């Protein structure tokens, strides 16, 4: 039997790569949700609300099929000094953030919402937030300027990556490191279990990883 169709409601190539390396092939449908227009009482709640909006928007666009479809919606934010830090608006903002974060720690929240649309028209959903503490190196001003000049911090929540140029600037992680990339595989497995789906049933044919 071929695995259930999986749709990732995110434009993030990092999330898609996490799934691929875990043996899950996914289609991508971008939700089009205006993230800046959404509010919530806390950074954690905001990630879950955004994940819900993204998954629900894509689920509404996935029409009736003769197979079950799993839609995965995610959103990540770094909480630092009690405030949500999404993608920085510009280089100056990214530099200010890194000067504040260096030598300190933040919490990366990722909201997850899973929706399964069955072939008979049924819908099941589960959702939760994963939390990972990230410890940052004490960067020099020249390192911060060079990193921001690379452009990478402008495209990611919290202005850093752990799987790219920003990796050497993260000294430690408490929790699931996949969550820092943007999608927690252990949480995804648990939510699937709540929906009656075994994680291994999503595996497709063996893939050649590069």
For residue 186, the surrounding DSSP H or E stretch is helix 185-194
24-74 tens-digit pLDDT? 999 999 998 888 788 899 999 999 999 999 999 999 988 756 678 999 999
Backbone angles phi, psi at 174, to 5 degrees: -115, 105
Q: Quick check: is 163 catalytic?
A: no
Per the structure block, which two tokens stand in for 167?
């990796």
Q: Report whether pLDDT(22) > 80.
A: yes
- Report the SS3 class of residue 84: strand
188-204 tens-digit pLDDT? 999 999 999 999 999 97
Residues 89 and 148 sit within 8 Å (Cβ to Cβ): no
Q: Report whether pLDDT(86) > 90.
A: no
**Rounded to the nearest 10 degrees, how much is the dihedral formed by the CA atoms of 16, 18, 20, 23?**
-140
Per the structure block, which two tokens stand in for 148?
């921001």
Q: Report whether pLDDT(206) > 70.
A: no
Q: Report whether pLDDT(8) > 70.
A: yes
- Report the SS3 class of residue 191: helix
Q: 208: pLDDT confidence band, cut at 50, 70 and 90?
A: very low
- Report the SS3 class of residue 139: coil
Taking residue 68's Cβ as centre, other Cβ atoms within 10 Å add up to: 16
97-107 tens-digit pLDDT? 999 999 999 99
Give the mean pLDDT of the chain. Answer: 92
Catalytic residue among 66, 75, 176, 198: 75
125-161 tens-digit pLDDT? 999 999 999 999 999 999 999 999 999 999 898 999 9
Give me the residues paired with residue 80 across strands: 83
């Amino acid at each position: 039997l071929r695995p259930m169709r999986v749709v990732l409601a995110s434009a993030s190539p990092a999330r898609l790569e996490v799934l691929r390396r875990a043996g899950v092939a996914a289609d991508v449908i971008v939700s089009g949700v205006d993230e800046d227009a959404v509010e919530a009482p806390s950074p954690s709640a905001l990630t879950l609300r955004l994940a819900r909006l993204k998954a629900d928007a894509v689920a509404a666009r996935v029409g009736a099929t003769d197979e079950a479809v799993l839609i995965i919606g995610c959103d990540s934010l770094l909480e630092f000094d009690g405030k949500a830090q999404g993608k920085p608006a510009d280089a100056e903002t990214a530099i200010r953030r890194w000067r504040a974060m260096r030598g300190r720690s933040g919490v990366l929240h990722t909201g997850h919402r899973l929706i399964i649309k069955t072939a008979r028209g049924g819908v099941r959903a589960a959702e939760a937030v994963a939390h990972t503490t990230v410890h940052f190196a004490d960067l020099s001003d020249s390192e911060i300027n060079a990193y921001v000049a690379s452009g990478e911090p402008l495209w990611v929540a919290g202005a850093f990556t752990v799987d790219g140029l920003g990796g050497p600037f993260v000294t430690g992680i408490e929790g699931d490191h996949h969550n820092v990339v943007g999608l927690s595989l252990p949480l995804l497995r648990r939510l699937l279990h709540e929906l009656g789906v075994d994680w291994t049933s999503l595996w497709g044919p063996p893939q050649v990883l590069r």
